[in-house]
Each structure stands twice: as C-alpha cells, then as structure tokens.
Amino acid sequence: MNRYSLLVLAGIAAVSLSACGGSDPHAFPSSRSTGDHRAGAAPFFGGGPAAVDTSSGSCNVTVTGDVTATWASGGGSSAIGYGPWLTAPGTTSVLGPLDESFFILNCDSNAGNYVGFITNSDVEIPMQPASYPVPVGVTAMGTGSAGPLGTVITLDGTDTNWMLSGDGELVITQFDDHHIAGHFTLPVTDAEAAITGTTKGNAVINGTFEFANPG
C-alpha cells in the first residue's frame, strides 16, 4: 500500500509531527487527486486566511495564459515538511518513515489559489540540488504514470478543475539543514472540458520558493 492510500485511510488530520518536539500540528494531503480541487479546497496542510509572514521564507507564483493570477505565501511548517528536518533518524508515523521520502511543499494563498507538491510513494528526495519531473497523470492518489512528485492545483474563481497538460518540473537549487530554494513550472488545462463541452483554456504556472527549516 503506497503513501497515498494510507493518507485516505488516515484522514487529513491523522498525524501530528509531535516527534519533532514542536507544538505545531500538521495535517496531511486530502484524498482528492491532482486537478480535482476546486477553488477554496483544503491544501496539504490545513490553515485559514492569514496575513503573509515571510520571516521564514516565501513562495511567489504567477499564472499566465487563459487564466491569470499571482500570489505570495509565507514559510513555516505549513509550507514545507521534510522528514530529516522534522525528527530523529528512524522515526515512523502512520505515513511510514519520516525520512527523505517525506517531502511536502505548499504555496498557498489562503484565498483559493494553491499549488502543492508531495513525494509519490517511497521516492526519496535527498538534501541536495536536483531537478524532478512532474509527469502528466501523476496525482495526489499516486495513480497514473510513475513520477517522483505529484501535485495539487487550485485556481480561485475558475469554477473548474485543473490538471497537467504536459510534464511539469520542480527544480531544487539549494537544499541543506537550514533552508531550501528553487522554482517550478506546471502547464495546466481545464480538466472538465471533455465533460462540459466547453473549456476555461490552458495556463502555465511558474513559481519560485525559498523556505527556512521551520524546526
């Protein structure tokens, strides 16, 4: 059983990462797949509207094409989760080991626009610069074509679901015990066009991020 199946069984708030010694609880990915999140749906980590605090880093996202949007989000434990940053070696949870295979990154406007990434099954993300493809078909349920990362996308006010129209990419340019930085590109399309007979079109999501280790 892969991580995504466990997430469905566990529910959004099944685990808090108390093993890291902090008091900040974490919720985990919802069971809905990539492109199956309408505007305002819950992101990987929970949280309501709040002022953007960039003291622990930030993510800046731009959407261009038939849909346009820009937003910025702050850092902290609601933005980045990485196993080796969170716990002592060997710690496990209902999601499995909190090791290099536990990687979650969120860019959440807290106002309906959201892009999130999570490792697919047991893929490990080492603490070093690297480029990771996000193939078409990879979803937050771990179905579709195999790839190291899955993504969840929400675009406010579009009244439709969005999915990848081509392979995306997440590039980590800096990654160590103290921080992570990089950028991503995701081409997306209206996932309901084939059903409704109309389309909201296509867009490209570009983002940059730099987050401090929140531990």
Rounded Cα–Cα distance for residues 47 and 42 (Å): 8
Reduced DSSP (H G I as helix, E B as strand, rest coil) percent helix, strand, coil of the chain, to 5:
10, 35, 55
In tens, the pLDDT along 32-89 reads: 333 333 333 344 444 444 567 888 999 999 999 999 999 999 999 999 999 999 876 6
**Which pLDDT tens digit goes with each residue over 86-109?**
876 666 666 667 899 999 999 999
Q: Please identify which residue in the block is written with the tokens 């749906």.
A: 41
Residues with Cβ < 8 Å from 63, sequence gap 6 or more? 69, 70, 113, 155, 203, 204, 205, 206
Least confident of 25-29, 127-131, 185-189: 25-29
How far lies 159's CA from each of 67, 135, 153, in Å? 12, 24, 13
Mean pLDDT, residues 5-20: 33
Amino acid at 37: H
Q: Give the mean model confidence (pLDDT) for residues 102-122.
A: 92
Round to the nearest angstrom and report the end-to-end CA distance of the chain.
29
List the alpha helices (DSSP H) in 46-171: 83-86
pLDDT score for 183: 98
Q: How many helices (H) and strands (E) does the chain have?
A: 3, 13
Domain boundaries of the chain, sorted by first residue: 3-17+28-45+54-212
Q: Is the pLDDT of residue 3 over 70?
A: no
Task: Compute the distance between CA of residue 128 and CA of residue 30 in angstroms, rounded to an integer.
Answer: 28
Alpha carbons 97 and 93: distance in angstroms, whole number: 6
In this prediction, residue 215 carries a pLDDT of 83
The size of the chain, in residues, is 215
The average confidence (pLDDT) of the chain is 77
60 beta partners: 72, 208
pLDDT in the model for residue 170: 97
CA dist 169 and 179 (Å) reads 20
Contact 189, 168 (CB under 8 A): no
Give the pLDDT confidence score for residue 25 in this predicted structure: 33
